[in-house]
């Protein structure tokens, strides 16, 4: 059985669906602070006897220890606080939830002789880019507590490998987009910060206008360039990483992105084209700390994990739109 922390959240739930599809038994551990019980119910309906849910918090050592009462073959770890701006005004929350929570998890793994973990890291550990595309040798100088907490975890995992033999794969995501192709789960945050759902939400909220922050960057149309990876492709990367560890792979880290970039204006145009609707927007000043370009070099993941992104950006936005329509119907 695989323990998936944060499995009721956006990326975690897609990973659980793919694991269940492949016949794995899955135990989801989540405190539902940002995940949803509706998602858990959908996963339960899909997985039946191969799925179990434990409501618990990584900051409660008894609750996380209880999650290892069954035979766990490995851990895939998503549970974290993940809002960059919030981390700058409430860093204590990020060090407690992300670093301390992972420390508790790793110690429970030690106590229960579980030696393999795939960790949801982030491209935010790189900080301001000094070269594009960004490869895994790029210096890690995060500029906010969110990125710093994830980098601290990566360093801790190196130490736990050397001292205790716990092997880890850290996946450094770039921008994640899209929803499950069967619309069983998708992006569902109470405080949404990601560009595609925010553009799409503006279609369902009266008098809401999408803001484009900065049009004077040194890019082809003046707006920021980002690397957008499909959430189902990302789920595949986690399974390949887990299987890599199962086959005796060493502790390592990989960028998960497409090696391509799209501007904010291009994303906006794709959303307009796919929805067939005019989406209101306004130009706003640049946001502090927004680099002009963030694009992944994904050669290492391709060569070692044999992972290749397959979904196009248009496919990702189409599934995101269908999911957003479904969410809007639920609310009304």
In the predicted structure, residue 205 carries a pLDDT above the cut 80: no
* pLDDT at 114 exceeding the cut of 90: yes
pLDDT category of residue 152 using cuts at 50, 70 and 90? very high
The greatest distance separating any two alpha carbons of the chain, rounded to the nearest whole angstrom, comes to: 57
Whether the model clears a pTM of 0.85, i.e. scores above it, the answer is yes
* pLDDT, tens digit (0-9, with 9 covering 90-100), for 56-103: 999 999 999 999 988 999 999 999 998 888 999 999 999 999 999 999
Beta bridge partners of residue 253, listed in sequence order: 170
Q: Tokens standing for 256?
A: 């998960």
Quick one: residue 253, left, alpha or beta (phi over 0 = left, psi -120 to 50 = alpha)? beta
Catalytic residue among 10, 126, 146, 321: 146
* 136, pLDDT greater than 90: yes
pLDDT digits over 281-326, tens only? 889 998 777 788 999 999 999 999 999 999 999 999 999 999 999 8
- Rounded CA separation 155/48 (Å): 37
Quick one: average pLDDT of 227-238?
Answer: 97
Question: Each residue of 1-52: pLDDT tens digit?
Answer: 999 999 999 999 999 999 999 999 999 999 999 999 999 999 999 999 999 9
Structure tokens at 245: 């560890």
Q: Please give the pLDDT value at position 331.
A: 62
At 160-172, the pLDDT tens digits run: 999 999 999 999 9
Q: Which residues contact 233 (CB under 8 A, 6 or more apart)?
A: 307, 309, 310, 311
- Encode pLDDT of 179-204 as tens digits: 999 999 998 877 777 889 888 888 88
Lowest mean pLDDT among 70-74, 233-237, 262-266, 286-290: 286-290
Mean pLDDT for the stretch of residues 115-124: 97
- What percent of the chain is modeled with pLDDT above 70? 99
Scan for tokens 């508790």, then name that residue: 104
pLDDT of residue 330: 67
Question: CA 286 to CA 263: how far, in whole Å?
Answer: 14
Catalytic annotation present for 146: yes
Q: What is the mean pLDDT of residues 200-218?
A: 84
Q: Choose between 19 and 208: higher pLDDT.
A: 19
CA separation, residue 223 to residues 77, 215, 314 (Å): 33, 5, 19
**Which of 23-32, 204-213, 255-264 is the least confident region?**
204-213
Average pLDDT of span 215-233: 95
Residues 295 and 260: beta-carbon distance below 8 Å: yes
* Residue 201 structure tokens: 């939400």
């Amino acid at each position: 059985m695989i323990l998936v922390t944060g499995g009721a959240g956006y990326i975690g739930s897609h990973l659980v669906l793919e694991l269940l599809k492949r016949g794995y038994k899955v135990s989801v551990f989540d405190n539902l602070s940002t995940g949803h019980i509706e998602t858990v119910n959908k996963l339960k309906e899909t997985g039946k006897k191969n799925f179990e849910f434990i409501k618990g918090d990584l900051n409660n050592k008894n609750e996380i220890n209880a999650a290892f009462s069954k035979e766990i073959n490995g851990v895939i770890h998503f549970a974290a606080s993940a809002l960059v701006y919030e981390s700058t005004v409430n860093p204590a929350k990020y060090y407690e939830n992300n670093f301390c929570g992972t420390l508790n998890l790793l110690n429970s793994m030690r106590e229960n002789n579980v030696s393999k973990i795939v960790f949801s890291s982030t491209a935010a550990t790189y900080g301001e880019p000094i070269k594009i595309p960004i490869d895994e040798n790029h210096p890690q100088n995060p500029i906010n507590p969110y990125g710093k907490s994830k980098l601290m975890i990566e360093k801790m995992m190196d130490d736990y490998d050397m001292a205790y033999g716990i092997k880890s794969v850290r996946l450094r995501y770039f921008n994640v987009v899209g929803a499950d192709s069967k619309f069983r789960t998708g992006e569902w945050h109470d405080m949404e910060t990601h560009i595609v759902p925010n553009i799409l939400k503006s279609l369902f909220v009266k008098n809401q206008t999408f803001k484009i922050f900065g049009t004077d960057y040194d890019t082809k149309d003046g707006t920021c360039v980002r690397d957008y990876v499909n959430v189902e492709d990302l789920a595949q990367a986690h399974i390949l990483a887990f299987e890599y560890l199962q086959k005796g792979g060493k502790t390592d880290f990989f960028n998960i992105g497409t090696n391509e970039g799209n501007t904010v204006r291009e994303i906006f145009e794709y959303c307009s084209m796919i929805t067939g609707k005019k989406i209101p927007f306004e130009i706003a000043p640049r946001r502090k700390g927004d680099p002009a370009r963030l694009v992944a070099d994904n050669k290492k993941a391709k060569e070692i994990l044999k992972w290749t992104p397959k979904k196009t950006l248009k496919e990702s936005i189409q599934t995101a739109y269908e999911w957003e329509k479904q969410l809007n119907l639920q609310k009304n």
